[in-house]
A and B are shown apart, each in its own frame.
Chain A
């Protein structure tokens, strides 16, 4: 599995989305991306990529696209 496939699978699974809808996924706007969904997403990303996110990065991760930028700071290139 590529990192992109893993990344997409997490978003699809936690937020119950189809791949086609991922690029528009945004915190508080996507139905299941609420507080609970946010914490589930962060845990799943940390587990999958074996990283520990800094609090500011956890909060900055407000969209599917931003997540890729944030993970790159931890050496995880989503591609």
Chain B
């Protein structure tokens, strides 16, 4: 997928463990895995932000082996469930993950091993040859639903990102977002395209070693979700001296406009760029960006479409709304729109369900200058600290405890309506354990009864009145 050899001895990755690899050597490892003559099957890459993990991902792309990026630290029961659902022929996993029955090691690189299934079933329909990467839609609920991305999707989006961020081989992005998260993956793809040096960190911004790695390696850019930027304010980021750091990008949900403006002003005064971006995993993931010259002027906007893409607003009957400031569903068109979803192994054979059109499920409008603004959501999911949570999934989980419940929410807040006070702590406990989110993400409200519509569906709009 990438022409890595053209960058030769330039360094592709440096990790905070101290190891590094050149573009040439990266391609050599990919070739060694290619020499194993693997059949066209599915690879699970159990990811960490380490050099050994990312080499497996790149080797899969280079050898046209479809790869599912997963969190190496997720619970084993979820991994086994996903294996049972998708029957991967191969796994790329670190020593920290216990080995699996029915699989044998066929290749080793550092602390990572490539496992091959002992008995390969030939009963599966062949995987769509266009399929390159699958990502989970929800990192938190362990849902088996995957987004199917083609090589063309990934390359189109990486190329757009290179264009609007003006990336070149001098870039040194610091990647602390997980590589199995679409935002993290897109940072890898776009920078490999230009021969940049990607700095991999397993640390968080809460650790002094993160900041020394950033400074010692002269990182030029840094990416974060809204919570990252809220935290940076608390850490008095504006007082830090980071002369090499030139670009800060933000995506993964809506950051408060006041904080956007503060970072915009900081960037302007310190010869840096602060760039707000908008995307979804389904778009590989980037769809829009706010040019940094407009950050202070339009801090609540998601900006304009990325190069190669278009955005429009549609009404309920699917007609384009041309009026400014009029709300409708945000529709994106571009070569980076995913092929579709998968829920089972058989779905991996499917073709292109979307044909370049993505119904984002976000309600938006545009202003007179053609800048877009998200004002709400059609779909029943919210982002909590950058993690996408499906409210219906959560509701189903609570229903294992009580049938009298309903979930509504906005970004960074999920409100659980219950009718029995006594269940409050049990429900919170269950949700927190299930999602790995802090209990403070959930607010329980006790009401006399859950309101229903004539249709028998929960009357969510009346519940939203409680939380606004």
Whether the pair B208, A56 counts as a contact (CB closer than 8 A) is yes
SS class of chain A's interface: helix, strand, loop or mixed? Answer: helix
Quote the shortest CB–CB distance from A71 to chain B (angstroms): 17
Give per-residue flags for A49-60: 1 if the beta carbon is below 8 A from chain B beta carbons, else 0.
Answer: 000000110111
Cβ of B244 under 8 Å from chain A: no
Bound CA–CA A32/B434 (angstroms): 12
Q: How far is the CA of A35 from the CA of B440 in the complex (A)?
A: 13
Say yes or no: A38 contacts B206, CB within 8 Å: yes
Write the chain A residue with the least CB distance to B204: A35
Task: Give per-residue flags for A1-31: 1 if the beta carbon is below 8 A from chain B beta carbons, else 0.
Answer: 0000000000000101000000000011001
Q: Which of B33-41, B128-136, B156-164, B227-235 contacts A (4 or more CB under 8 A)?
A: B227-235
Quick check: A31 and B436 within 8 Å, CB to CB? yes
Does B385 reach chain A (CB closer than 8 Å)?
yes
B440 and A40 within 8 A (CB): yes
Inter-chain CA distance A38–B385, complex, in Å, is: 13
Contact in complex: A55, B206 (CB < 8 Å):
no
Closest chain-B Cβ to A56's Cβ sits at a distance in Å of 7
Besides A55-B236, A62-B207, 16 other A-B contacts (C-beta < 8 A):
A16-B432, A27-B206, A28-B204, A34-B436, A35-B205, A35-B206, A35-B231, A36-B438, A37-B438, A39-B231, A39-B234, A40-B440, A58-B206, A58-B234, A59-B207, A59-B211
Specify which chain A residues have a CB less than 8 angstroms from the CB of B439 in the assembled complex: 16, 32
Contact of B385 among A16, A31, A36 (CB under 8 A): A36
Determine if B401 is an interface residue (Cβ-Cβ < 8 Å). no
Q: Is A70 an interface residue (CB 8 A)?
A: no
Q: Is A42 positioned at the interface, with any CB of B under 8 Å from its CB?
A: yes
**Minimum distance in angstroms from A53 CB to a CB of chain B:** 9
Using C-beta atoms within 8 Å of the partner chain, give the interface range for chain B: 20 to 34
B211, B235, B432: which has the most chain A beta carbons within 10 Å? B235
The distance in angstroms between the C-alpha atoms of A32 and B211, with both chains bound, is 23
- Known interface pairs A39-B231, A40-B440, A42-B234. Does A60 touch B208 (Cβ–Cβ under 8 Å)? yes
Name 6 A/B residue pairs within 8 A (Cβ), A-sorted. A32-B438, A34-B436, A35-B204, A35-B227, A38-B206, A59-B211
In the bound assembly, the distance between CA atoms of A39 and B235 in angstroms comes to 10
For the complex, what is the distance from the CA of A62 to the CA of B204, rounded to whole Å?
12
Query: Which residues does chain B contribute within 8 Å of A62, judged by CB atoms?
Result: 207
Cα of A55 to Cα of B432 in the assembled complex, Å? 28
* Closest Cβ–Cβ distance, residue A28 to chain B (whole Å): 7
Chain A positions within 8 Å of B207 at CB level: 27, 59, 62
Identify the closest chain A residue to B210 (Cβ). A59
A31 partner residues in chain B, CB cutoff 8 A: 436
Bound-state CA distance A27–B205 (Å) is 12
Within the assembled complex, what's the spacing in Å between the Cα atoms of A38 and B206?
Answer: 8
| Candidates A14, A37, A40, A59; contact of B235 at CB < 8 Å | A59
Interface presence of B169 (CB below 8 A)? no
Q: Which residues of B contact A27 (CB under 8 A)?
A: 206-207
Q: Are A40 and B208 in contact (CB under 8 A)?
A: no
Instruction: Tell me, in angstroms, the Cα distance from A23 to B205 when the chains sit together.
Output: 24
Whether a CB of chain A sits under 8 angstroms from the CB of B167 is no
Please, what's the 1-or-0 string for B435-449, where 1 marks a CB less than 8 Å from any CB in chain A?
011111100000000
Minimum Cβ distance to chain B for residue A55 (Å)? 4
Instruction: Please give me the residue from chain A that is nearest to B240 by CB atom.
Output: A55
A59 CB contacts on chain B under 8 angstroms:
206-208, 211, 235
Residue among A14, A38, A55, A56 with most chain B CB within 10 A? A55
Q: In B202-231, which residues have CB < 8 Å from any A CB?
A: 204-208, 211, 227, 230-231
A9 to B199, CA, bound (A): 39
Contacts of B440 in A (CB 8 A): 36, 40
Give CA–CA (A27, B436) in the complex, Å.
14
B206 to chain A, nearest CB (A): 5
- Shortest A73–chain B CB gap in Å is 16
Q: Mark B411-444, 1 if CB is under 8 A from A, else 0.
A: 0000000000000000001001000111111000
**Nearest A-chain residue to B386, judged by Cβ:** A35
CA–CA, A40 and B208, complex, Å? 18
CA distance A59 to B206 in the complex (A): 5
Within the complex, what minimum Cβ distance (angstroms) separates B409 from chain A? Answer: 16
Q: How far is the CB of A32 from chain B (nearest CB, A)?
A: 6
Which are the 8 A-B pairs with shortest beta-carbon distances?
A55-B235, A36-B438, A59-B208, A38-B206, A55-B236, A37-B438, A32-B438, A59-B206
Given contacts A39-B234, A42-B234, A59-B235, contact A34 B208 (CB under 8 A): no
